[in-house]
Amino acid sequence: MADKIVPFMEGRNGRLVIMQDNVPKSYPMRSYRVRPVVTKHADGVCGEQRDRLSVTLNHYEGSFEMYEKDAEWLRDWLAAQSARDAMTVPLDQQGALRFQPNNGTKQSFLLEDVTIDDWELSRTGRSEKGMVTVNWRCTDIKEVKSV
């Protein structure tokens, strides 16, 4: 008997969670992206036909787009900026990626040392929803146990 074909994941199968001072923030995200930032190396060795390729992982960066439900997101980020401006201990910011494939399993990944970079508030028309686009970086992504 052939294995059952499991449908590919959709937007509902994954989510990104941002935490500030260990408090999960429930931002209504429409979409998100994550990618590694790397330095690419190509070392030409005498007598070889091709370069020897390698890569150095520097960090990760991403972005998310969320619906503007209220101004709580702005309060959160202004609080983090105030801590930096006061030269006190920065607020702890982390994130998590959670995947729930269509096979009943769960996988979770911790985003370490999240830094919120720039953000943009956008409103386009009278009946269009307000959107906020946020760019962020993190130092590492590590798999953690899903519960």
> Could you tell me which of 113, 123, 79, 95 has the C-alpha nearest to residue 27?
95
Helix (H) or strand (E) holding 84: helix 72-85
Neighbouring-strand partners of residue 135: 63
Element of type H or E holding 43: strand 29-43
DSSP state of 25: E
Burial of 46 (0-12, 13-18, 19+ CB in 10 A): exposed
Q: Please, what's the largest Cα pairwise distance for the chain?
A: 66
Indicate the pTM of the whole model: 0.84
In CATH terms, is domain 11-144 a member of 2.60.40?
Answer: no
Q: Where are the domains of the chain?
A: 11-144
pLDDT band for 1, please (50, 70, 90 cuts).
low
- Per-residue pLDDT tens for 53-66? 999 999 999 999 99
Is the predicted pLDDT of residue 4 greater than 90, yes or no? Answer: no
Question: Taking 80 as the threshold, does the pLDDT of residue 15 lie above it?
Answer: yes
